[in-house]
Amino acid sequence: MASSDLVRILLLLFSVVFGVLVGLLTVRVPAFTALGMPSFLWLVAGLFAFEMLAGLFLNAHPSALLTMPWRAGGLALSFLCCYAAIALLS
């Protein structure tokens, strides 16, 4: 499996897990919501951190690992999972 395929698969897995985690924290932890940062910004920051870490581990510039449609898809997936978790837990 090529490293770009691995990064894409890991992006999708991370998007789902991180989206559910942010949704869970939003509903169950009052201190998390008191931070004042909307869940959308947490998702963007998490995906940014994923790209930076993937770039460090693979010794490549993050823009060379994922194209913009993959980034947008990962963000949309994490957004969907986050708000689905919020809806299910509320």
pLDDT of 2: 62
- Distance CA(17)–CA(62), nearest Å, equals 21
pLDDT per residue over 43-89, tens digit each?
999 999 999 999 999 888 888 889 999 999 999 999 999 999 999 99
**Contact status, residue 1 vs residue 29, Cβ threshold 8 Å:** no
Tell me the residue length of the chain.
Answer: 90
Which residue in 10, 2, 1 sits closest to 74, CA to CA? 10
pLDDT of 26: 95
pLDDT per residue over 10-53, tens digit each?
999 999 999 999 999 999 999 998 999 999 999 999 999 999 99
pLDDT of 5: 87
Residues in contact with 24: Cβ distance below 8 Å, sequence separation at least 6, in sequence order: 85, 89
